[in-house]
């Protein structure tokens, strides 16, 4: 993302982050170095969670939650503050819908959504650009303002990073 | 009066619209086991006195409760006398949550953000660890691992077998796979005698219980061998290697037995229908028995042939007929034009068995197997000849990459008939 001339990494030392698809926690650990606030790391697979819990033993600002991001209310009981950034990095066909659901529930007005779209996990048969356009359309329809689109090639193929601003009442 | 049931790291709070706390149930003082019950919305929370007290208190007030989670509503349903509404996406909850520190300060609960972080982190870890423990107890994990180890062991044995034949062949090249096909017997001979001069028919018969004629043949070949002589230390190295192979074979047998036992208990129907090995492989590929029971039979049919399937979807070639169910002997031995039909049939039966096994139904494996065999016979009788029509032509291979991309895009957007004319057009160009 940075290597491909991103303007900003959008996460600073006062960001509270809801991270969906934490996996074993590599990116989570980077974010935890940047921010002084809390990171809610949500992951669904018990196998990855095993690593994640051990990896964030020494990181007091990471809250590891084993839950399904399709149902954002399930981890409501662990959240106790304003969410500035929702970071979505999941390999599901409905990842955009999941991202929108979570923003709708938790993200503050004017907060940021950072969405990593993996084209191949949405549809293997469609041309990549068609998939990206469809997903961007979905986000824009929900009143998000797209700030930046960054292709992650050649570091990871067929990935697009979307940064969008969320408004509670679309203007 | 409308009241919000807010689940927080410190417990459940009931607030009015302005965020004033009406009642609360704190979980901070609970033991870990009790806390887990609350986090899991387990029915046993009614055994915690503080929770019962909390329910009694809200029963007096009879709020019109609004809650975020369905689980919470289900939990309260049996005891709570007022109405409950589920509204997971009501922003009111998040608005309340933002001011949690302030809200909690009103009832004198330690509530700085740092303290809340510690409590929430502790709860989340407790909850996640418990769910990891649960997943570790599922027998799927053990089957998947055992089947994986079993497959790898078989691979090891096969590649070691080739190497042992190569190595010992320098000393006794006549002991080929034509003479001794079974690697276990081969390794035993190497392990017992090492030097080919010491191989005697009588010993072979006594030690390894093989036929006398066969043993004599081996002895004859040993006497007239063209192999080179090896030193003691060289032979010793070969002996150690052959011993390892024997151990591996032993281990493979034991593991196979235990996998069989596990599968027979867990999935009796699948076991009867397709045997242990294929059952294990299917569960491994699907990820769990639950998933295997939920996916459609057409998916089961091509499990393991993902590469071919996606190629078929992309390039509109023929889709694969079978994935790992190909290892089922009747499919492998069937004629090529019958295989697709049989594998479609088999995957249907597998799907039924997986569903019955997952939901602990009764034993129907034998009945299904009989049905299946009858139907396979029927297919063999009805389609004795290969089909006469020509097979579908493969899409033309374009030389340049760009043309391929164009064809792929066209292929997606056009229907089949249009697609063909599309190719003709680009050909004429």
Q: Are residues B271 and B252 in the same domain?
A: no
Whether the CB-CB separation of B389 and B336 falls below 8 Å is answered with: no
B412 vs A60, A66, A125: nearest CB: A125
Q: Which residue of chain A has the CA closest to B8? A: A77
How crowded is the C-beta side of B196, counted as CA atoms within 13 Å? 22
Residue B193 lies in domain: 143-257
Q: Are residues B248 and B297 in the same domain?
A: no
More confident residue, A16 or B227: A16
Nearest-CA distance A153 → chain B (Å)? 18
Strand ranges, E, within B80-190:
83-86
Cβ contact A105–B94 (<8 Å): yes
Q: Is pLDDT above 50 for B426?
A: no
Q: Which residue of chain A has the CA closest to B307? A: A124
How crowded is the C-beta side of A81, counted as CA atoms within 13 Å? 22
Mean pLDDT across A150-158:
83
At residue B127, the 3 state secondary structure works out as: helix
Query: Domain ranges in chain A?
Result: 17-166
Q: Are residues B173 and B284 in the same domain?
A: no
Whole-number pLDDT of residue B110: 66
pLDDT band at A62 (very low <50, low <70, confident <90, very high): very high
In a domain, B173, yes or no: yes
Tens-digit pLDDT profile for residues B7-47:
888 888 888 888 888 888 888 888 888 889 888 888 888 88
Q: Is pLDDT above 60 for A66?
A: yes
Beta bridge partners of B3: B65
Q: Does B131 touch chain A (CB under 8 A)?
A: yes
- The H or E element spanning position B171 is none
Task: Mark which of B136, B157, B181 sits at the end of a domain.
Answer: B136
For chains A and B, CB pairs below 8 A equal 92
Whole-number pLDDT of residue B427: 44
Q: Are residues B129 and B149 in the same domain?
A: no
Residue B241 φ/ψ, nearest 5 degrees: -60, -45
pLDDT band at B411 (very low <50, low <70, confident <90, very high): low
Tell me the C-alpha distance between B275 and B372, whole Å.
14
CATH number at residue B332: 1.10.246.90
At residue B103, the 3 state secondary structure works out as: helix
Percent of chain A with pLDDT over 70: 95
Which residues 95-124 of B are in CB contact (within 8 Å) with A? 97-98, 100, 113, 116-118, 120-121, 123-124
pTM of the model: 0.75
Q: Are residues B148 and B131 in the same domain?
A: no
Whole-number pLDDT of residue B225: 86
In a domain, B423, yes or no: no
CATH number at residue B123: 3.30.420.220
Q: Which residue of chain A has the CA closest to B95? A: A82
The structural architecture, per CATH, of the domain A17-166 is 3-Layer(aba) Sandwich (3.40)
B195 secondary structure, DSSP code: S
Tell me the C-alpha distance between A146 and B363, whole Å.
57
Q: Are residues B20 and B128 in the same domain?
A: yes
State how many domains chain B has: 3
Task: Mark which of B348, B365, B382 sits at the end of a domain.
Answer: B382
According to DSSP, the β-strands at A39-43 and A83-88 are unpaired
Tell me the C-alpha distance between A60 and B143, whole Å.
36
Task: Mark which of B365, B382, B399 sits at the end of a domain.
Answer: B382
């Amino acid at each position: 993302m940075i290597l491909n001339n991103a303007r900003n990494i959008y996460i600073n030392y006062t960001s509270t982050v809801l991270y969906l698809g934490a996996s074993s926690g590599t990116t989570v650990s980077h974010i935890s170095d940047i921010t002084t606030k809390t990171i809610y790391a949500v992951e669904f697979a018990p196998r990855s969670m095993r690593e994640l819990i051990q990896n964030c033993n020494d990181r007091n600002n990471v809250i590891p939650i084993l839950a399904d991001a399709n149902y954002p209310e399930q981890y409501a009981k662990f959240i106790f503050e304003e969410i500035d950034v929702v970071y979505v990095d999941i390999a599901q066909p409905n990842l955009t819908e999941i991202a929108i659901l979570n923003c709708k529930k938790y993200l503050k007005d004017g907060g940021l959504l950072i969405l990593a779209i993996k084209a191949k996990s949405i549809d293997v048969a469609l041309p990549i650009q068609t998939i990206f356009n469809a997903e961007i359309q979905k986000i824009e329809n929900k009143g998000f303002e797209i700030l930046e689109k960054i292709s992650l090639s050649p570091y990871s193929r067929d990935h697009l990073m979307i940064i969008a601003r969320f408004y509670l009442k679309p203007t | 009066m409308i009241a919000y049931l807010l689940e927080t790291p410190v417990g459940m709070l009931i607030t009015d619209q302005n965020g004033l706390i009406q009642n609360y149930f704190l979980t901070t003082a609970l033991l870990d086991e009790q806390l887990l019950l609350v986090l899991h919305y387990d029915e046993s929370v009614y055994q915690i006195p503080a929770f019962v007290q909390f329910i009694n208190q809200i029963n007096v007030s009879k709020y019109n409760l609004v809650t975020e989670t369905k689980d919470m509503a289900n939990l309260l349903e049996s005891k709570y006398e007022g109405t409950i509404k589920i509204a997971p996406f009501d922003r009111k909850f998040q608005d309340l949550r933002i001011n949690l520190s302030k809200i909690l300060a009103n009832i004198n609960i330690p509530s700085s953000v740092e303290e809340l972080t510690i409590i929430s982190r502790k709860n989340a870890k407790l909850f996640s660890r418990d769910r990891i423990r649960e997943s570790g107890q599922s027998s799927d994990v053990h089957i998947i691992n055992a089947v994986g180890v079993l497959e790898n062991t078989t691979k090891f044995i096969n590649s070691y077998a080739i190497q042992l034949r190569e190595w010992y062949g320098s000393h006794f090249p006549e002991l080929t796979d034509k003479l001794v096909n079974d690697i276990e017997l081969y390794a035993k001979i190497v392990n017992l005698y090492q030097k080919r001069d010491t191989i005697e028919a009588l010993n072979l018969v006594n030690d390894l219980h093989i036929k006398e004629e066969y043993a004599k043949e081996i002895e004859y070949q040993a006497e007239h061998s063209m192999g080179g002589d090896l030193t003691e230390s060289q032979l010793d190295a070969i002996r150690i290697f052959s011993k390892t192979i024997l151990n591996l074979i032993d281990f493979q047998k034991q593991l196979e037995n235990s996998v069989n036992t596990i599968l027979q208990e867990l999935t009796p129907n699948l076991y009867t229908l397709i045997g242990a090995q294929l059952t294990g492989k299917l569960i491994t590929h699907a990820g769990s028995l639950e998933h295997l029971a939920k996916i459609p039979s057409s998916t089961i049919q091509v499990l393991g042939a993902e590469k071919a399937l996606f190629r078929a979807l992309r390039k509109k070639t023929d889709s694969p007929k079978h994935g790992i169910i190909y290892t089922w002997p009747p499919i492998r031995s069937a004629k090529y034009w019958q295989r697709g039909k049989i594998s479609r049939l088999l995957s249907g039966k597998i799907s039924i068995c997986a569903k019955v096994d997952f939901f602990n139904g009764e034993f129907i494996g034998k009945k299904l197997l009989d049905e299946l065999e009858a139907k396979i016979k029927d297919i063999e009788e009805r389609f004795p000849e290969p089909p006469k029509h020509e097979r579908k032509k493969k899409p033309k291979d374009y030389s340049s990459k760009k043309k391929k991309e164009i064809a792929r895009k066209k292929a997606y957007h056009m229907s089949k008939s249009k697609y063909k004319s599309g190719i003709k057009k680009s050909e004429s160009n």
